[in-house]
Amino acid sequence: MTDHTKECGFCGEPGATESMPFVGAEDERGIMYFHEECELRNVLGGLKHQAKICSCFLEGGDSNPPAGMTDHAEALEVMRLVKLGTWNYG
């Protein structure tokens, strides 16, 4: 069964296809849904991290998606670069 209404816990957009149980604050338990690409972005960092212009590298930097990109669009781009083999794992 495919449910396209599930919201991704990372980007907040619907269409999440992956899920995992989570334990939150105060013993809150549930299932978190997410896009495969959003988890990848969460693990690897975003495009600004890749370009070394995020807060890890620059004082006052941020890890938001580049201007005009949604979180999900950025995650898709991260996955594209990983699949292309051009992602720099540092």
Residues contributing to the site for Zn ion (CB under 5 A): 8, 10-11, 35, 38, 45, 49, 54, 56, 72
Please state, in angstroms and rounded to a whole number, the distance separating the CA atoms of residues 31 and 61.
32
Cβ at position 27, least distance to Zn ion in Å:
26
Rg (CA), the chain: 15
Q: Which residue has the tokens 């930097």?
A: 61
**Residue 30 or 58: which CB sits closer to Zn ion?**
58
**Residue 21 or 26: which CB sits closer to Zn ion?**
21
Give the orientation angle of helix 36-44 with respect to helix 71-84, to 10 degrees. Answer: 80
Cβ at position 29, least distance to Zn ion in Å:
21
